[in-house]
Chain A
């Protein structure tokens, strides 16, 4: 069964600190993996996309990694800001077959001043 598991479920950190969110998936065959950010009361917005050949990709203070062999991805946030408080959702798309991606439950991040 194609699944996407995220950890931790929730995380509280102090402003300025770094953190790393994890995503493990069983979706196969793999096409791409996206990290979405969802602010409270808003819709999810794509932060970054990782394809099979990419190991690391940065978007400002956000850095995503992908290990296609172990089927793991991480999202590292550097020097966190209050505006980083949100839910971060890992979404994996399957190659061929259904074009509908598989969503993880998300990690809820709270950044305190």
Chain B
């Protein structure tokens, strides 16, 4: 148990559906992340929220829409996805500090396995 919970664990959706992935962290962290993991590729950073403010949008298509209502919750809204969007979507959190004290450890959830038909 890492303290980061993702739901649903598995999701199958058609290209015209609208769905959402949810992430909740119980670690008191102040930064949350969405990563995409495809087979044989490094984890790809999608979005970063630092103190609820989006600080990174890594050229992600607009069919992915993040939402961070507070520092403990993160959503990824999905709309008109493509089959190539099928992947494992990982949420992570970390505790951001200033300067050298920050170690950068990311705490990941179990992931949401998305299949787009």
* Residue positions of A touching B, CB distance < 8 A: 4, 9, 31-32, 34, 41-46, 49, 89, 91, 93, 99-101, 103-106
Contacts and interface: CB of A to CB of B under 8 A. Distances in A.
B109 A100 contact: no
7 contacts: A4-B42, A31-B104, A41-B113, A43-B90, A93-B104, A100-B48, A104-B42
Given A42-B111, A43-B111, A99 B96 contact: yes
Contact of A49 (B90, B92, B105, B109): B105
A94 B2 CA distance: 24
Interface string B3-40: 01000000000000000000000000000000000001
A91 B94 CA distance: 15
B108 interface: yes
Contacts, number: 50
Interface residues of B, number: 23
B56 interface: yes
A32 B104 CA distance: 8
Given A43-B2, A43-B90, A43-B109, A105 B103 contact: no
Contacts of A93: 103-104
Contacts of B113: 41
Given A41-B111, A43-B4, A100-B45, A105 B40 contact: yes
Contacts of A104: 42
